[in-house]
Structure 1
Amino acid sequence: MGEQGSSSQLMRLSESSNSGLVNERVLFLVFEHVKWDIRTLCCVAAVSWKLRALAKRLLWRELCISRAPRMIAALTEGATNSRIIGGWPALAKLLFFCGGCDLASARQFRLGRPLRGHFAGESRFSKTSGRSFLARSCRGDVLYVSDPGEHAAAEEGCHDVVGIYRGVFRSFFKSRTRERLIARQIGFVEGVRCPYCAARVWSMTAAPLIPQRTAARKLGSSGDGAVEYYVCLNGHLHGLCWLVHLSSSDGGDEEEEDEDDDGSFCSGDEDGGDRNCINSANNGDNN
């Protein structure tokens, strides 16, 4: 946020609820100074119930707006001070945290043990990529999807690489995708919950609403049908795929669409260019 935006936010912070322990204006300035570092905010929110409540009411939203301004503006249709479906803490977690996967959600994948969640060192979200995950009849929906993170398959003797990716719909309650899921009377998946808000999920494979060819191409997957993703009641997406091992002779796909510059988000420090880049670690280290 610019200086004018920061000043206006500070003016709106209420002093009436401040105690000797928590001063909202001071805390806001501290997080601006550390560039809304996700790990610092997690530590602060774990100190006490007062700080946890303050983070839920204000700080998680400000982190999302500060670190991914164009993506958040698109998701909220410009009303960044409003509530967001699923809550700001869940959205912040989705932006910076790979949820991993449990065995219940990896039914098409040979995994000997669950893959643990972790902070994502760097992830780029794009709504152009998101269109490749939507059925043709749902192309009017707005969906941001991350690039897949590479994870070694846990099964002994298996050298395949699992890609884990995540995403979020804009205004999922009004989306064509949700309308199709309900019209087809698709039931919720037993034993699988959203890793970001714990809501119940639909399997897009069971729907079936996965355009396998375009989704596999965007993910760099083997394209053999092993692309799976789930969408929760709040519009959060998480999925898995098998990733292709590329050789030096492999080139790009000539049919690929050019990525747009409107709202693309990369989890690195903001680079001042056409895309917003943000890192889960502000010092640039990957984890």
Structure 2
Amino acid sequence: MSPTWDSGEPITSERITPLGWVRVLLRGTVLGTVVFGGLALLLLIRLIERPLFGVDRPVTPYITQGVCRAAFVILGMALLVRGPRMKVPGAVVANHSSWLDIFALNARKNVYFVSKSEVASWPGIGWLARATGTVFIRRDPREVKSQIALFEERLTHGHRLLFFPEGTSSDTLRVLPFKPTLFAPFFADSLVHDMHIQPVTVIYHPPEGADPRFYGWWGDMGFGDHLLRVLAQQPQGKVELVYHAPVRVDDFPNRKSLASYLEDQVRSAHSRLIE
């Protein structure tokens, strides 16, 4: 298990104003309706989709994508995208700074997140993750074989897996070192020759005058408090996704060289924010 990253310098949050609480109420009501209404629709369609297509999900990922795009409209937060999305079979990796990453990366590409097993039991978030096809794993070297089998099954069904190689979230100002162990399953004989991996840089631009780490969610920060702060904010900042060129896994001799290359690619677009 990766330890949770902590900067040691907490954000000093300003009190939410009365007008801010009005925005919390309005945005929160609309966002909750869209998210959980979308979840209900997804589960309903999945009742038909599952018996007909099994692991394949030809319809429901587009519901997830629509909900995530709507979330940024509701928040009043701009979502900018640069670079082409991968069309070949494989996985996607990105730096991790906030729960907003999930919405941003889902909004522009149908992906299935790879997450630590503990998330499945989280109230609310765990339900959404399970419903949208998240792959839950234990980050234990002894379970690499079972992870290979799981990844192979999902990839052969055309699922594009997305995972965060840092192993934890940070404050939006930096990219933490990528953990090579997370790439071990992709070097299995059954996967290595067909796999491509696309690195994506997620960059947050804070609201004018706000702490540069405004959208970061890390350490022991409470989800509820952070959500309220984002809902209350006006004007909002923006999030930018930079898609880099995909690489073939078998172009690299081992998982360490692959992890290093992908980390460098993600850092290349994030460098102006790294301390």
Shorter-chain TM range is under 0.3
Higher-Rg structure is 1
Q: Which structure has more helix as a fraction of its residues?
A: 2
**Greater RCO, CA 8 A, separation 6+:** 2
Task: Calculate the TM-score normalised by the size of structure 2.
Answer: 0.24
